[in-house]
Amino acid sequence: MKNILITGGAGFIGSHLVRHMVHKYPDYQIINLDLLTYAGNLENLKDIENLPNYTFVKADICDEAAIESVFTRFDINGVIHLAAESHVDRSITDPMSFVRTNVIGTVNLLNTAKKHWAGRDDVRFYHVSTDEVYGSLHDGGFFVETTPYDPQSPYSASKASSDHFVRAYGNTYKFPFVMSNCSNNYGPYQFPEKLLPLFIANIVKEKPLPVYGQGINVRDWLWVEDHAKAIDLIFHQGKEGETYNIGGNNEWRNIDLIHLLCKVMDKKLGRETGSAAKLITYVTDRAGHDMRYAIDASKLTNELGWEPSLQFEEGLEKTVDWYLANAEWIARVQSGAYQNYYLQQYGERY
């Protein structure tokens, strides 16, 4: 694999993956294709932008001509596809953008790759997906790779649809793919509309922490660099046509996680214990809020030897340290589209 197209490489997970790949594989050409929506930011990749094996292309995955031109120009023989609309709350107010990017964009990539890869056996398409396609767990148990799909939000419905298209291309055209479904990632460079970076930013400014519903929903949290390493492993060693679940084996009720975060923040900011927790504000629940996600990642561990590397408490401290040291990054990404979006949708609460 020499010329790898990573889509969505300016986003949260994509930027960690691009950094990992350009450093680990100096012989590969890594082409990062990203539309730079509100969630994509080239600042995330400043440290590697001048490396000889890295190229950035600003383009829309839905743009047939642009994708065609990238495949021709760089002789792409591997794709790792992350570009997506990724925020559940936004999918509730604007589902069509999710259909466009997540479904149509994915099928456009599949079509271009299929056309360019006819007759080649040195090619692979990796589709990065989410555990949310499996729906919501209520009574214990874990998502395994054979759990039936049961998406509950417009976001997860769009991701499920794209997953189905990838598998359908594998079945119908013998298109060479691998796929993974991962739990909630955390770490540096996450856009501050997702739980952890939003709450860190709000605690610094002593703004309310909007906990949806009763805060009893459960998520499984994974250090983002561990996700990047899992993708690398599956891309190179995963069996063709297979799906792998990726998770942190690290379930938290939102409210427990938020209390832990508050404690860490008080300590780091030198504030009195209990200061941050006073900002907790229970707000109207997310519509159709999935109760619990939990991943069984034993297939990935048993077949490819992957395990999460970081304990959550250590990862959370590292995450908090990064956001505190990069307050300007938060201010910049929060200043534009982000703020306007939330002010429009939700009023002054944010």
Does 131 sit near ligand DAU (CB under 6 A)? yes
**For residues 52-71, which are near ligand NAD according to CB under 6 A?**
60-62
Instruction: Report yes or no: 8 and 84 within 8 Å, Cβ to Cβ.
Output: yes
Tell the burial category of 198 from Cβ atoms under 10 Å away from its Cβ (0-12, 13-18, 19+).
Answer: buried
- Contact with ligand DAU (CB under 6 A) among 188, 210, 247, 308: 210
Does 182 sit near ligand NAD (CB under 6 A)? yes
What is the closest distance, in whole angstroms, from the C-beta atom of residue 227 to ligand NAD in the complex? 7
Tell the burial category of 193 from Cβ atoms under 10 Å away from its Cβ (0-12, 13-18, 19+).
Answer: buried
What are the residues facing 211 on neighbouring strands? 282
CA-to-CA distance for 24 and 53, rounded, in angstroms? 11
Does 226 sit near ligand DAU (CB under 6 A)? no
Q: Decide if 303 is catalytic.
A: no
Q: Decide if 49 is catalytic.
A: no
Q: Decide if 169 is catalytic.
A: no
Chain residue whose CB lies nearest ligand NAD = 11
- Contact with ligand DAU (CB under 6 A) among 77, 254, 319, 334: 254
CA-to-CA distance for 176 and 167, rounded, in angstroms? 10
Instruction: Report yes or no: 235 and 124 within 8 Å, Cβ to Cβ.
Output: yes
Could you say which of 34, 89, 132, 251 is catalytic? 132
Q: Which is nearer to ligand NAD, 44 or 279 (CB)?
A: 44
Does 35 sit near ligand NAD (CB under 6 A)? yes
Tokens 């990935």 -> residue = 300
CA-to-CA distance for 337 and 169, rounded, in angstroms? 36
Tokens 């401290």 -> residue = 317
**For residues 76-105, which are near ligand DAU according to CB under 6 A?**
86-88
What is the closest distance, in whole angstroms, from the C-beta atom of residue 171 to ligand DAU in the complex? 24
Query: At a CB cut-off of 8 Å and minimum separation 6, what does 5 contact?
Result: 31, 33, 70, 71, 74, 76, 78, 79, 80
Could you say which of 126, 134, 155, 293 is catalytic? 155
Does 228 sit near ligand DAU (CB under 6 A)? no
- Contact with ligand NAD (CB under 6 A) among 40, 170, 247, 248: 40
Instruction: Report yes or no: 184 and 218 within 8 Å, Cβ to Cβ.
Output: no
Does 109 sit near ligand DAU (CB under 6 A)? no
Which positions are annotated as active-site residues?
131-132, 155
Which residues are near ligand NAD by CB under 6 A? 7-8, 10-14, 34-37, 39-40, 60-62, 82-84, 86, 101, 105, 128, 130, 159, 182, 184-185, 191
